Structure 1
Amino acid sequence: MARLRDVVFDCRHPASLARFRAAALDGYEVAPYDEEELDRLRSLGFSGPEDDPSVLVEAASGPRLFFNQDLTGDSVERLVALGARVLADPEGNEFCLVIP
């Protein structure tokens, strides 16, 4: 039986959208940043959580929500040319399937 473990949203500004969704959904909150994660972001050239390109929102139960800076159409096409596979639902919405 299939179950939802993670839901990924492509967006322009992950931090603000993650805060909005966490506030809108009961029991969800933006995952806290520890010093190790802040150091990792800084090493990649990001100043901190506000410009993090991938923000996690989680709850005690229910799927984790990831808010990721979206790839442009050119990036997706380039990745497909390199061998990536893109799945689409009947309406053409792209999604990923993760096999644990």
Structure 2
Amino acid sequence: MRARVQEIVFDCADPAALARFWAALLGGVPVHRSPDWSYVEPPRFVRIAFQKVPEGKVVKNRVHLDLEVADPVAAAEEVRALGARRSGGPVTDEQGTFQVMHDPEGNEFCFVTP
């Protein structure tokens, strides 16, 4: 059996706010289906959905998105205006540079160089 990814779903407290954040970051238009469910369909990417859950985020994500940018440090500065925050400083190794970030509800993602 082969499956196709239909969407990636984040549990959260405020689906509409996260849909707006990720739409601003990746493109697309936030869609608010109900108070408990919002999503965005970024260009050239799978739908990202946000579902309201009663519990808050407690530990590190087991899965996160790596987002390719020309300059992770500059991207980190720009996205702070949207409500994101850095986690530590940029890391450079033989593969390139990456910067760990948190969205407004604390979900990790990384800016990475190509």
Higher strand residue share? 2
**Bigger Rg, which one:** 1
TM-score of the two chains, using structure 2 as the length reference: 0.40
Between Structure 1 and Structure 2, the one with more helix by share is 1
- When normalised by structure 1's length, the TM-score is 0.45
Higher relative contact order (CA 8 A, sep 6+): 1
